[in-house]
Structure 1
Amino acid sequence: MTYDPSLRVLTVLELLQAREEVTGAELAQRLEVSPRTVQRYVARLQDLGIPVEGRRGVGGAYRLRPGFRLPPMMFTPDEALSLSLGLLALRLLGLSQLAPAAGAAQAKLARTLPQTLRETVNALEGAVQLDASPWVVRTDARLLTDVLRAVRERRQVGLTYTSVQGQGTQRVVDLYRAVHLDGRWYAVGWCHLRAERRSFRLDRIGELEVLESAFTPPADFDALAFLRASLPATPATHAVSVWLGASPEALRAQVSLWGTALRAESGGTRFEGQRDNLTSFAAFLLGLGVPLRVDHPPELREEFRALGQRCAVLAGPAMPPTMVYDPVSSAP
């Protein structure tokens, strides 16, 4: 594991607070440094006024002076709840690599809070269930870190990008913002290859290098609005309105919310949206396994009739293995 020097010093302090005594060898192994380097970190803590005591010789160890504890972090109940829920929600952003770090941060937060807030935070994970949408795309946390660094430092990046068609290109980009939208992470900025503003899906970025060259981002640039406007629109030709016999909460994990509205109605959910392929949409609705009623368009009811005829053929007498169902030749 890689640490920067300041994080190593804080890790030493964290271990000393969590345990009565820690040997120099244990600290060296945990931080992946030499015992002499551990001594420098301890000296740094002492310079900051932290009373670290050491025992020299074989099996030498370090400890905080008895009775010393850093004051608890001062959070209101709402602030502590917000931090804890935010850490739990990281898994919903496709950043599974950060799950161990989020767990460690949650434990540190709980240890530093007063007793009453600590009990609330410790019980939170067992009391709350957060359901990740099936549309979330897993994202490399290190890649996102590099993107955020380039945005923060206003430095260009060189990256390899793979298009929808599978074609890879080398790009130099001025990154303005990172955006999370509809389950995916995007980087938005000026592409020097295309000479225009572009968005890049992080799951299609290969290698990325933060360059030394700097740039000045445009003032008051709304990356989210740009991304929504620039994403290719689905050629939707049918306005769909369907009643489904399940709650909106139960359906949100199964239905893409892009271009779709779900609202509670008559003990179920009103589904309204735009769809271009009614055949696949009819099959999708059947796959939900809930009661449904088609209110619009009439063509969708025709798709269900055709789908029913196809299912009747497939459910009939077993066909010879050499035969394949052909919806064209089987049409009435």
Structure 2
Amino acid sequence: MYDPSMRVLTVLELLQAREEVSGAELARRLEVSPRTVQRYVARLQDLGIPVEGRRGVGGAYRLRPGFQLPPLMFTGEEALALALGLRALTHLGLHALAPAAQGAGAKLARTLPHALRADVQALELSVQLDASPWVVGTDAALLADLLRAVRGACAVEFTYTARSERATTRRADIYRVVHVDGRWYAVGWCHLRAALRSFRLDRMQDVAVLDETFTPPPDFDAVAYLREAMPEPAAHEVSVWLEAPPEALRGAVSGWHTDLTPEAGGTRLRTRRDNLRSFAAFLLGLECSVRVDGPPALLQEFADLQNRCVAIQSGQAAESYSWSL
């Protein structure tokens, strides 16, 4: 539910977006009476915004032709959302945009009224965002090219290096670009494979947007496709209890095919893993107590790690330990 000041700003937003808006539509959109809409319009006029009204049946409001509002007018929540969004860019792997984010943040601060500017400055001094170890760096220029291709429904050509494969030249119709579990993916129709495919942006190079266009499928859900196309590993079903709340583990534990639920003052972690040795080493790196409830093979991996640590401490050679991380 809007408060009165938000409703006044909403009237202004609607008038900026449309050449003319009827009083009846404003009343319906804001869930108020036509008389209340008149009061909101009067409030805008008191603020020096030239709102013109046409009386009678089908009466409507519009901004005076040629009138331009200041470039930025934000509520406190909008300013906070923008500032947080700019701070979070590097957490999406877009490190190249950090200077641009700093510049945009400076412009935002200069444009805001004093009270809002103070709130944003407090955010800069008080809020820390810890980067997730799972985030993979992404070329911002490459992402921009793909977004341009999606917007124009243009095919793209690029060099792609899949896991354990040589680089190949691909042509694809990209339907969506999505960020999932620390990585960016482009999802669309691959001309080489003649099938729907996903491409990791960190494995793409030399992207060229082509003049060739296509018709994308309506309401395509790229996240649903990725979850179906990238099934969870099936080798070992893991269940461990961690002496830390779920919120303390988010960002440290990959969320892909991993379930974190509160349990007994800590967190129950359920997942499936192919490589239990690397997962055991990962669990050792968490700064909390761990109890393994399954599988038994994971306990054996911890025993092997213990033996290796003892060997290292005693100065023995480590050649006898085989690692396949």
Give yes or no for TM over 0.5: yes
CA-CA distance at 1:291 after TM superposition: 1.7
Cα contact 1:244–1:269 (8 A) shared by 2: yes
CA-CA distance at 1:250 after TM superposition: 3.4
User: What CA distance in whole angstroms lies between the structure 1 residues aligned with 2:106 and 2:114?
Assistant: 14
Equivalent in the alignment of 1:254: 252
Confirm whether residue 106 of structure 1 aligns to residue 100 of structure 2.
Answer: no
Equivalent in the alignment of 2:320: 326
Residues 278-309 of structure 1: per-residue CA shift (max 9 Å, x gap): 23322322232432212222332233334333
CA-CA distance at 1:75 after TM superposition: 1.6
User: What CA distance in whole angstroms lies between the structure 2 residues aligned with 1:313 and 1:108?
Assistant: 58
CA-CA distance at 1:228 after TM superposition: 1.9
Matches within 5 A, 1:152-301: 152-231=151-230, 233-301=231-299
Residues 44-67 of structure 1: per-residue CA shift (max 9 Å, x gap): xxxxxxxxxxxxxxxxxxxxxxxx
CA-CA distance at 1:234 after TM superposition: 4.5
Cα contact 1:314–1:325 (8 A) shared by 2: no
CA-CA distance at 1:327 after TM superposition: 4.8
User: What CA distance in whole angstroms lies between the structure 2 residues aligned with 1:253 and 1:220?
Assistant: 30
Residues 189-220 of structure 1: per-residue CA shift (max 9 Å, x gap): 11111111111111111101111111111112
Cα contact 1:72–1:113 (8 A) shared by 2: no
Matches within 5 A, 1:87-126: 87-126=86-125
Q: Which amino acid aligns with 1:264?
A: P
Q: Which amino acid aligns with 2:303?
A: R
User: What CA distance in whole angstroms lies between the structure 1 residues aligned with 2:235 and 2:147?
Assistant: 38
Cα contact 1:158–1:173 (8 A) shared by 2: yes
Which of 141-150 and 153-162 deviates more? 153-162
CA-CA distance at 1:169 after TM superposition: 1.2
Are residues 160 and 299 of structure 1, via their aligned partners in 2, closer, same or farther at CA, if it must alter by over 3 Å? closer
Are residues 172 and 324 of structure 1, via their aligned partners in 2, closer, same or farther at CA, if it must alter by over 3 Å? closer
Residues 306-330 of structure 1: per-residue CA shift (max 9 Å, x gap): 43334334433x34xxx554259xx
Q: Secondary structure at the match of 1:282?
A: helix
Unaligned ranges ≥5, structure 2: 1-68
Residues 171-204 of structure 1: per-residue CA shift (max 9 Å, x gap): 2211111111111111111111111111111111
User: What CA distance in whole angstroms lies between the structure 2 residues aligned with 1:184 and 1:89?
Assistant: 15
- Identical pairs, percent: 60
Q: Which amino acid aligns with 2:256?
A: W
User: What CA distance in whole angstroms lies between the structure 1 residues aligned with 2:127 and 2:287?
Assistant: 27
Equivalent in the alignment of 1:17: none
Q: TM-score, normalised by structure 1?
A: 0.70
Q: Secondary structure at the match of 1:78?
A: helix
Cα contact 2:232–2:257 (8 A) shared by 1: no
Cα contact 1:155–1:211 (8 A) shared by 2: yes
CA-CA distance at 1:156 after TM superposition: 1.2
Are residues 171 and 112 of structure 1, via their aligned partners in 2, closer, same or farther at CA, if it must alter by over 3 Å? same
Cα contact 2:239–2:292 (8 A) shared by 1: yes
Residues 89-140 of structure 1: per-residue CA shift (max 9 Å, x gap): 1111111111111111111112222221111112211111111111111111
Equivalent in the alignment of 1:145: 144
Equivalent in the alignment of 1:12: none
Q: Which amino acid aligns with 2:309?
A: C
Q: Which amino acid aligns with 1:141?
A: A
| Number of residue pairs matched by the alignment | 255
User: What CA distance in whole angstroms lies between the structure 2 residues aligned with 1:97 and 1:307?
Assistant: 39
Are residues 118 and 314 of structure 1, via their aligned partners in 2, closer, same or farther at CA, if it must alter by over 3 Å? closer
Please provide the CA RMSD for this pair: 2.2
Cα contact 1:72–1:114 (8 A) shared by 2: no
Q: TM-score, normalised by structure 2?
A: 0.72
